Amino acid sequence: MMDLPKPDDIVGMSFWLITMATLALAVFMFAERRRLAPRWQTVITLVAVAALITGVSYLRLSQGWAATGAVATASRFADWQLTVPLLVLSFHFLLVATSQPSPALFWRLLVSSAVLVAAGYLGAANFISPTLGFLVGLAGGLYILGELYLGEAGRLISASDNKKLQSTYNALRLIVTIGWAIYPLAYFMEYLGGGVDGASINLIYNLADFLNRIAFCLVIYHLAAGETAREVRR
């Protein structure tokens, strides 16, 4: 059973908040999935699974924080190794719902997102140099952004005549560009920039996960629900 943190434990409260929020979001998304048009159900399932994994992972991290007052950054990568590729692949399945992206796009997004997280873990756990882990992870992240802005995904969305899809895609791309930039910055601060105290680094990661997971999922749900309602009215 998860114990409530002390009121003056800001980091503990942030662990509790994201645990409850992501688990509730996963339940909501799975429940709403059945009400949506079939073409949106795959991407909703994808982000619901990502939210569920985050909630379960944070339940474990919360317990660790309550017991020891510390959570090693390396222990977060089990969550990220699953959820980051799932969220990145959401771009592919958004396009599948409205156009015909190539199978190669799926694999490019999957491999680059997996490399991004794996490199960060190897550096954080000292299997490789933290500098090398940072550089390889950064290259993976930049490749994903290049694909989303200039590659096949970016070209397909630019050619779409669905303005709501374009707006959603742009919002998601902005989250990945700005919101996800918190992670490499925090990694640099912790491993290459002289270090950060455990409470501060955990609070940074917790708030980043809260923003990026929940905002990302709800933006996709808003599109799917709106498009389903529009199709029903026809």
pTM: 0.92
Summarised one tens digit per residue, pLDDT across range 71-85 is: 988 889 999 999 999
pLDDT for position 67: 87
| Sequence-distant (≥ 6) Cβ neighbours of residue 53 within 8 angstroms | 79, 82, 83, 86
Q: How far apart are CA 85 and CA 90, in angstroms?
A: 9
Helices (H), 34-162: 38-68, 77-96, 103-124, 130-149, 152-159
pLDDT for position 97: 87
Summarised one tens digit per residue, pLDDT across range 94-126 is: 999 888 899 999 999 999 999 999 999 999 999
Summarised one tens digit per residue, pLDDT across range 24-59 is: 999 999 999 999 999 999 999 999 999 999 999 999
| Sequence-distant (≥ 6) Cβ neighbours of residue 153 within 8 angstroms | 91, 92, 95, 101, 105, 109, 147
Query: Which tokens in the block code for residue 216?
Result: 């990302």
Query: Which tokens in the block code for residue 217?
Result: 């999922």
Mean pLDDT computed over 188-203: 88
pLDDT for position 110: 97
pLDDT for position 4: 60
